[in-house]
Amino acid sequence: MTGLGSRLFYKVGKLCEQIPVFLNTFLVFSITGEVSYLVLVEAPLEAEQQKTTWSSWWKALHLLGQYFMLGNICWNAFLFLKVSPSIKGVFLGGNGLGQGWRYCYTCETHTPPRCSHCYDCKVCVLRRDHHCVFFGQCVGYRNYRYFLCCLLFMWLGLLYAMVMNAEVFIVILKEGVTLHSILLLLIPWIMLVSGQVSAWAFTFAFIADTCVVGFLLVSAFFFFHLFLLFRGQTTREWYSSRRPYNLGLVNNLRHMLGLRWYICWLSPLIPSPLVGDGINFQVTGSLEPCQ
């Protein structure tokens, strides 16, 4: 009975770990569908323009840009999850272990500098940055590019969606800043349950709110990681105030994003071979934490 309970608890735990992934996927496609509707049906064009050739081109350009961003988000996320950042299958060597090498008692192996054990993934990760709860996987040496590019296109997509939803806010507030309009923007769920608004109005208000909140959160994550990228740091090294691997802006970009760092962000299909092996790193400062 105890074994059955343990297995059930383990399966429930694994299912709960996937909830953020499913929620993110649902929100991304919900926002995409809502913005597509705004472009195709509620396009912010004058009545005279909506029947012209320019209207068709305007909508086509919007949809092309929108689905280009969606494709990049999905493909980068897929590659981020597919590419393992762990030490599995990597020959670490055992001779000449230098400064920064440690012994992981969980994995029972020596690990190189910038590598650490993740107790969620249950494995050591090369140049580990952090464990991303939204994807359920660690960000490390081999998948950092896809993580950062996914953040980039999520930021661009939410910025675009927020601009397109500006008309939703205008419609809600067209009669002035009333208690009803404020509650609809702040707590649309309560307004729907209480019967104060229709499901249609709730959907637009909820997605518009999600765009604003999502944009603020993704902006914080994205610009924080840009800050770390420019400094040649991982999140773990930022916590300890260490910058021993800062090689300058261009070399930091090359080591994090690969040899084609200047163009690889356009698409995950553009090959950009990584510099180094994720085991040996050029040190430019002290490996000891700053006091």
Residue 80 tokens read as 């981020």
Q: What percent of the chain has pLDDT over 90?
A: 41
pLDDT, position 80: 96
Averaged pLDDT, 165-171: 82
Q: What percent of the chain has pLDDT over 70?
A: 86
Statement: residue 170 has pLDDT above 90: no
Number of domains within the chain? 1
pLDDT, position 5: 66
Residue 236 lies in a domain: yes
Beta bridge partners of 103: 110
pLDDT, position 239: 83
Residue 267 lies in a domain: no
pLDDT digits (tens, 9 = 90+) for 62-119: 999 999 999 999 999 999 999 999 998 777 765 556 777 888 999 888 889 999 999 9
* Catalytic machinery residues: 132
pLDDT digits (tens, 9 = 90+) for 25-35: 888 999 999 88
Q: Are 46 and 162 in contact (CB under 8 A)?
A: no
Residue 185 lies in a domain: yes
Residue 113 lies in a domain: yes
pLDDT, position 290: 43
pLDDT, position 284: 79
Q: Are 232 and 245 in contact (CB under 8 A)?
A: yes
Please state the pTM of the whole predicted model: 0.86
Return the axis-axis angle of helices 144-164 and 2-40, rounded to nearest 10°.
50
Averaged pLDDT, 1-24: 71
Query: 176 vs 278, which has greater pLDDT?
Result: 278
DSSP conformation letters of 190-243: HHHHTTSS-HHHHHHHHHHHHHHHHHHHHHHHHHHHHHHHHHT--HHHHHTT--
Query: 224 vs 43, which has greater pLDDT?
Result: 224
pLDDT, position 53: 59
Q: Which of 139-148, 176-185, 222-231 has the lowest mean pLDDT?
A: 176-185
Residue 3 lies in a domain: no
Return the axis-axis angle of helices 199-231 and 2-40, rounded to nearest 10°.
100
Q: Average pLDDT, whole number, for the chain? A: 84
- Indicate the pairing of strand 123-125 with strand 116-118: antiparallel
Residue 48 lies in a domain: no
Statement: residue 15 has pLDDT above 90: no
Assign 251 to helix, strand or coil: helix
Domain that holds residue 179: 11-41+55-257
Statement: residue 9 has pLDDT above 70: no
pLDDT, position 205: 86
Residue 212 lies in a domain: yes
pLDDT digits (tens, 9 = 90+) for 217-275: 999 999 999 999 999 999 988 887 767 889 999 999 999 999 999 999 999 999 999 98
Statement: residue 163 has pLDDT above 80: yes
Residue 159 lies in a domain: yes
Assign 109 to helix, strand or coil: strand
